[in-house]
Structure 1
Amino acid sequence: MPKPPFSNITQKLGNLLNICKDMCRKGYNCYYIKEKENDKGSQEDVRCHIKNKINIKRNEEKAEKGETLDQMEKLLLDLTQGKYKAEKHYVYTIDGYRLNLYRIVNNNSENIINDKVVQKERINEQVFEEDKKEVFCLNHGLFESSINYTCKGYNSLTFQIFSNNHDVWISNNRGNNFTQYVGKNIAINKLRENYTEEDLRDLGLNIKSDQIEKEMRKKKKKKKKKKKR
């Protein structure tokens, strides 16, 4: 009886198998992916909650020390000698994940040497930044992250696109070091901050009327002050 294809899967995978095993041992935040078990209130939910608390404390300690940059931000500053930086944004998903989204921008920091040549370069870079052509969003492959698009420095795909005057963004998929399960409640609240649940009726009857009343009160106060004078 002939052997089924890929029966010797270990030989077919070769070095890739060892890499996969290594990633499984390290774990990262892979167990956060078990969202169905989290919804059932299993032990994984407790572990996620405890780990989130620990991460929040670590972030607060780093913020107090001024160490708020992550690996992606540090790498880009090191590779470009501080000329460019990764501007970090957060994207929240409905099922409770926070994904890091990075935009490549010029690092117009205040700590610049007072030199006319340097100042001219900075002005040109600001004009260059405003006149971007199109937006490019790069998304990594399996077992990768946003670092894969920047690790080669100026030879990487990110800077090749950026040098052609494009607005470059790099996203991250759940499961790597730049994503975190924060819980559905937190994610939904963050999403609601960006959108309003009010309709046009609420806008016309409530919000606008409140604004008009406030303006009328200010006018009345001004009239009273004039009469006193």
Structure 2
Amino acid sequence: MATYFITGANRGVGLELTRQAAAAGHYVYAVCRGPGKAHDLSKLAAANQDNIEIVPMDVTQANSIATAKARIGTNPIDVLINNAGVMGDDPQSPLDMDFDVLTRVLAVNTVAPLRVTKAFLPNLERAKGKVIVISSMMGSFTYGETSKMAYCTSKTAVNRLFHALAQDLKSKGVAVGILSPGWVRTDMGGPSATLTVETSVKGLLQQIAALDLKTSGSFGNYAGQALPW
């Protein structure tokens, strides 16, 4: 049994990651900002009291992260999944950017994953674990659409950060994965998306299981396909 620490576990991909990891017999720290409003997660945790523990944490707030870290203590973490993210409201095109939106999206999608990873790095080191950031094909320079540039830029930036992080963590025995879930039918992905959340998460967990120090720092999707930077 492995121990998972999953941010943004209250809905969408994060909730399904929690569901499938727990169903496989793993212990899950299910992390979200407002547990009182996370009704689906609360129901899931109530049905899996032995292996799902809800942890309140705002990924953008250092004090909140420190409180969660004190709660976890020195317990090893085998897999830390930085899943929490926001799309951000429009406008986001370069010539019509809402800079408050840009700042918020970068704080959640780019800065927070590194902040969280650094805070829980001792737990990862104890387990010789894996740290994952959920990215997107929209972060690739080959993606041509310009209407969601706050989100796209945040994913491009986090890809670069975690590619570098992989180099720094290799000597510590911690592997880094940069994974796209694909276009998933969630609140963020919308009803027109091509993938069910169940299919996406099943694939993500398979890629996480296959990740090792040799492939650390790579950028790929839920189906194991390498993605262009």
Q: Please classify the TM superposition score into its range, dividing by the shorter chain length.
A: under 0.3
The structure with the largest helix share of the pair is 1
Q: TM-score, normalised on structure 2? A: 0.24
Tell which has more relative contact order, 1 or 2 (C-alpha 8 A, sep 6+): 1
What's the TM-score once normalised by structure 1's chain length? 0.24
